[in-house]
A and B are shown apart, each in its own frame.
Chain A
């Protein structure tokens, strides 16, 4: 590990099981996952579609609840959070990036970021956040006037403006071409390095894994392998 050893883990995931009841059939999405996530690391969860990676992300992100098992965030158990506490958790501690950006079509880039800053205690100015993703010049544009990559960068700016401890990214480059995808990843990497934000990216794109500190391989609801990159590649070296 290139990072200095931190005092504590951000997440301690213990024997997480998630079973969906689909009519009369029950589908197991997670079959007992245990995992620690360290502060400030760039973690990639790699797996094919249906491997349970999104379910895992949703549970750690407080959008979904596990069937059994626990997720420990700092010294809290996410499973014991009330709806209000979950909202507070999402609001103050974490950020989300989705494949499809999910910007408010009605708001300009800057306003989209402001939306997040308005509800946090110590946000960075919206323009600074846009500057960080290299979009300060497009602050007044509406999402429909931006390219996909730009929209995703606005989404990142929106997520980081409230200075979250952890940033969850669900296929952040899934809808983008290679060149644009690289720019987005660069931004994410930047955030991770400069701000020390723990970065959790899920993807089925193995190339992305090469730039991470750690890679969790998932298959059929299990962690099949944990790979530690002692020397993560730079983006320029990655080929996909």
Chain B
């Protein structure tokens, strides 16, 4: 080992606590990068292979009933590779020993097996034998959540008839990586909603759809042609009542998965950059101080004949050791975190295989960037060291020059400051760069806390808004077919029902000139109490007697303004003629592109005097499940949702998510704040040892001396905090904008709790740093420090 290297290692050991603090930031940065980037890569690859191996469809057309023969015509459309007709139907499930509602989606698959579109991965059990009846392959997560195994039975009410189905296998499909019934559900509830794959023959007879289908899925040569192909398909299928055309991009599960992957990609760049940027600053401060400390030694080495280059490299080496150590630790931490994250992902996304892997290219990248950042941090120190003149370096450094600060102009204030505060103010203003970095570090730390808690607050608020402010029913009962007012009166007569309101949800095609969009329109009674129409400002919107209320997103897509008219056409059913409706209001909402109308007006669009397909019920307190039991056996009922159950499930999942998020953001914010404050204070302490020692000699106690540094840190901490809060809020607003998708918009909502916690935590970080520095103050050797003159 060269002498210079020995010197480096010993110097590092002497400054070990500062070095470790710097390494901690690098570790966080590389760990984040390795974790997030690997996860991003991993999910992307897993998704792509999964989709390819199981032939994930490029489009789906849902219709009322199309004869299988149409498929041959579709197959002929240029660019179409493969099409498959199938039957999809939501059903009620009955599981022994379970009282609350279980919903399932029956999907037919060819019993011949083979490589069909949206193919299955059989996780246990078998695929159907030819001619199988009353057999089902159940989605794995649903089976696990309900403790159902191969060989057991499950009861399903299909088209009003009860069927007992034998579970012969458990499976997964690329179509349901993220299994939710609709976008409002936010998070999957594997115990409450499952997929039932059944043999085609069975589905045809159970739903009386012989030689017909209600869903057509297909794959194409190139996704660019999708629009052309779907347009070409439309006239062929028009008579069969198309009610939804979904491109792969918009497919619910794929969309959520792909958005997640995209967001992960963004986050995997941003967060590590913040950390490594901070680490560069910490290294900068640390090494600059070191160079000043070692001026004489550097001069001496030069006098002996070491070149400026060798000296510069010596300081680059410090940075290299810090970043490499950080990288190695970051690798282990990152891989561990990736493993934890994958465990979390597996709870939300069902993949046949998703396991933590090591990506050498990502490791190489991680190493590359962290070294690059640390080199940037070391640059100025290396330059200074290289420029030191041997003869000059032997002379003592020019003494510190005191300056008057701006605050001194305000004599009434200045006079009142104790000398401790005068020293603090002058010191903060003297070391502007250092103070700025200190403040910046605290600012980033606070902002990180706010951003971390924001993701929790946002989801919390969305839940509260959706399930408490907007939806106020206890139970929601849906019917297979549209019903008249009598169904509402029937519902009101049930035991335990306090209040009932109708609701109509129906798919329509909205057209404005050449712009067209298929959406679900919601019909509600005016002044509805159970399903209120609200905008993001929490104002209840009057739905009016006539006219269409559109969300801003839908209005933008169709280029509509209040007062414009739009053509509305039901997508299925007997009535398919177009009506013209005026846009009466445009409102901001969190969920997707949808439209609302007075239920009576919407019924008239369908040529009915009154139509509803679900009823919302308010029950006597605590009687929701009793009602559920009573309603369960009514054939016309397609689903019963007890709100309380849905909320409970979501809260549980979200809570787990919150714990992880808050833990990680507190950890990261803490490391950043501590590392910066600790390092800067150490440097400042080293520079002022003499000053502080003479205070001790004059009879100041350790704590009184320490307070000069503690208060200084607290002052900058408070400034950083004051800047960090608005900075965090701005980033949150940007995040809302960045993650604004067609399906969902995050609310910009921060609880006052978040601010309080962030303030308390930031101040704690400062206190912890002060506590760590306290040791150094206590160790101050009075006699030695005062004896030598640098």
Q: Give A residues with C-beta under 8 Å from B.
A: 54, 58, 61, 63-64, 83-84, 87-92, 94-96, 98, 100, 102, 104-108, 111, 114-116, 118-119, 142-145, 158-159, 162
Contact = CB atoms under 8 A, between A and B. Distances in A.
Contacts of B691: 102, 104-106
Interface string B416-455: 0011001100110010000000000000000000000000
Nearest to B785: A102
Contact of A119 (B402, B422, B699): B699
B700 A119 contact: yes
Instruction: Identify the interface centre among A54, A87, A100, A118: most chain B CB within 10 Å of its CB.
Output: A87
A107 B422 CA distance: 7
Interface string B694-729: 111111111010000000000000000000000000
A58 B782 CA distance: 10
B402 A96 contact: no
Interface in B305-362: none
Contact of B399 (A63, A87, A111, A144): A144
Interface string B774-790: 00000000110011010
Nearest to B787: A54
Contacts of A63: 697, 782-783
Closest A-B pairs by Cβ, 6 of them? A91-B699, A142-B402, A102-B694, A90-B699, A105-B400, A106-B426
A107 B419 contact: yes
Given A64-B783, A87-B699, A106 B402 contact: yes
A108 to B, nearest CB: 7
Given A90-B699, A119-B704, 16 more contacts: A54-B787, A84-B701, A87-B700, A91-B699, A92-B699, A94-B699, A98-B786, A104-B691, A105-B399, A105-B401, A105-B691, A106-B422, A106-B427, A108-B402, A142-B403, A145-B402
Interface string B267-287: 000000000000000000000
A102 B423 contact: no
B696 to A, nearest CB: 8
B494 to A, nearest CB: 79
B690 interface: yes
A60 B786 CA distance: 16
Nearest to B417: A111
Interface of B is mostly: helix
A187 to B, nearest CB: 18
A104 B401 CA distance: 10
B82 to A, nearest CB: 79
24 contacts: A54-B787, A87-B696, A90-B698, A91-B698, A91-B699, A94-B699, A96-B694, A98-B694, A98-B786, A100-B786, A100-B789, A102-B690, A102-B694, A104-B694, A105-B402, A106-B400, A106-B422, A106-B427, A107-B419, A108-B402, A119-B698, A142-B401, A144-B399, A162-B699
A54 B786 CA distance: 12
Contacts of A144: 399-402
B413 to A, nearest CB: 15
Interface in B398-417: 399-403
Contacts of B402: 105-108, 142-145
A107 B423 contact: yes
Contacts of A94: 699
Contact of A158 (B422, B690, B698, B782): B698
Contacts of A54: 787
Interface of B: 399-403, 418-419, 422-423, 426-427, 430, 690-691, 693-702, 704, 782-783, 786-787, 789
B783 A58 contact: yes
Nearest to B430: A106
Contacts of A92: 699
Contacts of B782: 63
B419 A87 contact: no
A100 B423 CA distance: 20
A116 B701 contact: no
Contacts of B787: 54
Contacts of B427: 106
A130 to B, nearest CB: 15
Nearest to B423: A106
B362 to A, nearest CB: 49
A114 to B, nearest CB: 5
B492 to A, nearest CB: 80
A142 B704 CA distance: 23
B418 A118 contact: yes
Nearest to B699: A91
A58 B785 CA distance: 13
B212 to A, nearest CB: 89
A149 to B, nearest CB: 16
Contacts of A61: 697
Contact of A118 (B419, B426, B430): B419
A14 to B, nearest CB: 22
Contacts of A107: 402, 419, 422-423, 426
A125 B171 CA distance: 88
Nearest to B429: A106
Nearest to A159: B698
Given A105-B401, A144-B399, A144-B402, A90 B697 contact: yes
Contacts of B419: 107, 111, 114-115, 118
A115 B419 CA distance: 6
B423 A104 contact: yes
Contacts of A106: 400, 402, 422-423, 426-427, 430, 691
Contacts of B400: 105-106, 144
A168 to B, nearest CB: 9
Contacts of A162: 699
A159 B697 CA distance: 11
B701 A87 contact: yes
Instruction: Identify the interface centre among B430, B700, B704: most chain A CB within 10 Å of its CB.
Output: B700
Instruction: Identify the interface centre among B402, B693, B701, B702: most chain A CB within 10 Å of its CB.
Output: B402
A102 B702 CA distance: 18
B159 to A, nearest CB: 86
Nearest to B786: A98
A96 B423 contact: no
A238 to B, nearest CB: 26
A102 B422 CA distance: 17
Contacts of A159: 698
A116 B420 CA distance: 11
Nearest to A83: B702
A126 to B, nearest CB: 10
